[in-house]
Amino acid sequence: MATHQMQLDWIDEQAARMQSLVEQWAHVNSGSYNLGGLNTMHGMLMDEFAVLRGELRSIDLPPAKNIDWAGNESTTPVGDALSIRMRPDAPLRVLLCIHYDTVYSAGHPFQQVTRVDDNTIRGPGVTDAKGGLVILLHALQAFEQSEHASKVGWEVLINPDEEIGSPVSTPLLHEAAKRNHFGMLYEPTLEDGSFAGARRGSGYFTLVVRGRAAHVGRNPDQGRNAIHLLADVIRQVAELNESIPGATISVGKIEGGGAVNVVPDLAICRLNARVDDVETQKKVEAAVREIAETTGALEGFEFFFDGQFYSPPKPLTEQTLAIFDAMKACGEQLDVPVRWRDTGGVCDGNRLAAAGLPNVDTLGARGGGIHSDREFLALDSLVERAKLSALLLLRLADGSWRPDWID
């Protein structure tokens, strides 16, 4: 059937099942640092995704590295990733990704799923991104029922560390990006139901100044005040907001010193930089390096910084537009509006794009209030968005849509 009605009807029949799966998963706390909860969630995903009959694999990840408030390198363990591959040698290959961690820690008061009205539930991660996980699963299940499925190979990558910037799963995303022709990511749609077009880039940096401690009363001359120097560095960083158009830089956290009658020998700050495009990103990187060089050269001080643009800017390319056009055609058949707009937020779509994979990254659930205790999910979006994804894959498989960058 040219319209793939059978598969779409099947998704309609799954509405209750999809809803109960989201509720089940949202009741398991899988905050990025809650290893126990992540393991439980990982096990549930392994069980559910087995239904796809692909090559299912759990992937151990090394701990994430960071700089602690003593200025030393420390590590934080993360959960395991999950990979499922089907027909890796098919001529058309699609990567489908989403994360299973959430921003809510095990101690966060927001842990329960509650019913708001007929079409709305409220709960931690219901939209970001447990709804997306359910949508991805059902879209693929429907797709696999089609006789055309053999034309398309797919790979699912589910990571445990996206909400902390995918520090450890980024290499997996990059490798998977190289094996596939385009990407489908299941982050929530924007609040008005739009898909994300271009995304700004985002970088996190930690700046560390070490000086020399001394008694403020007895021998202040021997001291090197790390806080005074860091204050000057922060002023220079803040001025980049004026000197580099298209960049937003904000120091968000600062710490240093101890007893006030001691010249402090350590001061640390952390900043987030957002940039419109790669050119701007390079300017910010160069400016930070230059500040580091001049500051590090001061007598009696040490200066170093750690960090990078973990999420490079994601421009709206011709290829992404081609995917949107194909989605529009699907949306017309399903009576679902397909429109997109730019956003300052970042996600793994930025990282896939940086690795050269065209992708649409907001194929997940409709809802809102994400990253807050107001997070809610529009239940009808589960079926709606699963159909949209399934139809896109089906139209790719039956030849109705052929991305022109695939030979």
Residue in 23, 80, 128, 161 binding Zn ion, rule: CB under 5 A: 128
Gap between the Cα atoms of 82 and 286, Å rounded: 37
User: Shortest gap between Cβ of 187 and Zn ion (angstroms)?
Assistant: 5
Tokens found for residue 203: 């970088």
Gap between the Cα atoms of 353 and 312, Å rounded: 8
User: Shortest gap between Cβ of 350 and Zn ion (angstroms)?
Assistant: 12
Closest alpha carbon to 55 in 14, 88, 84: 84
Give the x/- contact pattern for Zn ion in 197-226, rule: CB under 5 A: ------------------------------
Interface with Zn ion in residues 75-114 (CB under 5 A): none
Select the span of 122-130, 208-216, 287-295, 390-398 touching Zn ion (CB under 5 A): 122-130
Q: Is the peptide bond before 129 cis (omega within 30 degrees of 0)?
A: yes
Give the x/- contact pattern for Zn ion in 173-192, rule: CB under 5 A: --------------x-----
Q: Determine the residue type at 54.
A: G
User: Shortest gap between Cβ of 372 and Zn ion (angstroms)?
Assistant: 13
Q: Which is nearer to Zn ion, 123 or 264 (CB)?
A: 123
At which residue do the structure tokens 């994979």 appear? Answer: 357
Size of site (CB under 5 A) for Zn ion = 3
User: Shortest gap between Cβ of 369 and Zn ion (angstroms)?
Assistant: 13
At which residue do the structure tokens 């039956």 appear? Answer: 398
Residue in 129, 177, 268, 269 binding Zn ion, rule: CB under 5 A: 129
Select the span of 72-80, 128-136, 207-215, 349-357 touching Zn ion (CB under 5 A): 128-136
Q: Which residues pair with 81 in a beta bridge?
A: 59
175 Cβ contact list (under 8 Å, min separation 6)? none
Half-sphere exposure of 91 (CA within 13 A, CB side): 12
Tokens found for residue 97: 């990704």
Q: Which is nearer to Zn ion, 149 or 352 (CB)?
A: 352
Binding site for Zn ion (CB under 5 A): 128-129, 187
